């Protein structure tokens, strides 16, 4: 009985220590997680220092497939600049959700607060086995209406 209890205790200790050593600020630390976290942290640092255009461009330049001269990219850059110019001072960014498909694809959703408004920023990263790159970046201000709708659905079910 003592041997079984001690063995169980050792296994538990190994699992707990192993899990803690793999986690950090952004959750489980795979290569994809580590590199994505560096890109996101750099992006938000630029926004915090009011260099939002530079932060966005640096992030997008990390993927050579994204053409910064493309009309869709330019429209997104202009909307992002307008967001930062009209929403007041950047306050904070909080990770709401993170989903990762092995070490290949990761999606991070942040709740981002400014003085006057709040937004949802969504980052999608892709690991092509050579490097981790931003695959898609999106932002919107519909998170509040989605929360209200989800509450309605929840209350309707009760």
98-157 pLDDT, tens digit per residue, is 999 999 999 999 999 999 999 999 999 999 999 999 999 999 999 888 888 888 877 788
Share of the chain above pLDDT 70, in %: 82
Is residue 13, in this structure, part of any structural domain at all?
no
What tokens appear for 16 in the block? 């707990």
- The domain in which residue 148 lies consists of 29-157
Average pLDDT of the chain is 85
Is residue 116, in this structure, part of any structural domain at all?
yes
The whole-angstrom separation of Cα 147 and Cα 158 is: 17
What tokens appear for 9 in the block? 């205790």
End-to-end CA distance of the chain, in Å?
A: 49
How many structural domains compose the chain? 1
CATH of the domain at 93: 3.10.450.630
- Contact (CB, 8 A) for 92 and 99: no
| Phi, psi of 63, deg, nearest 5 | -120, 110
């Amino acid at each position: 009985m003592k041997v079984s209890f001690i063995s169980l205790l050792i296994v538990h200790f190994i699992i707990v220590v192993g899990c803690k050593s793999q986690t950090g600020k952004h959750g489980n630390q795979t290569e994809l997680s580590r590199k994505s976290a560096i890109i996101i942290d750099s992006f938000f640092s630029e926004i915090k220092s009011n260099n939002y255009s530079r932060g966005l461009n640096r992030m997008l330049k990390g993927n050579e497939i994204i053409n910064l001269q493309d009309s869709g990219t330019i429209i997104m850059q202009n909307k992002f600049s307008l967001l930062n110019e009209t929403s007041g001072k950047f306050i904070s960014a909080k990770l709401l959700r993170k989903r990762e498909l092995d070490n290949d694809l990761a999606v991070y959703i942040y709740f981002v607060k400014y003085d006057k408004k709040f937004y949802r920023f969504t980052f999608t990263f892709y690991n092509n086995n050579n490097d981790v790159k931003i695959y898609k970046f999106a932002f919107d201000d519909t998170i509040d209406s989605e929360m209200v709708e989800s509450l309605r659905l929840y209350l309707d079910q009760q």
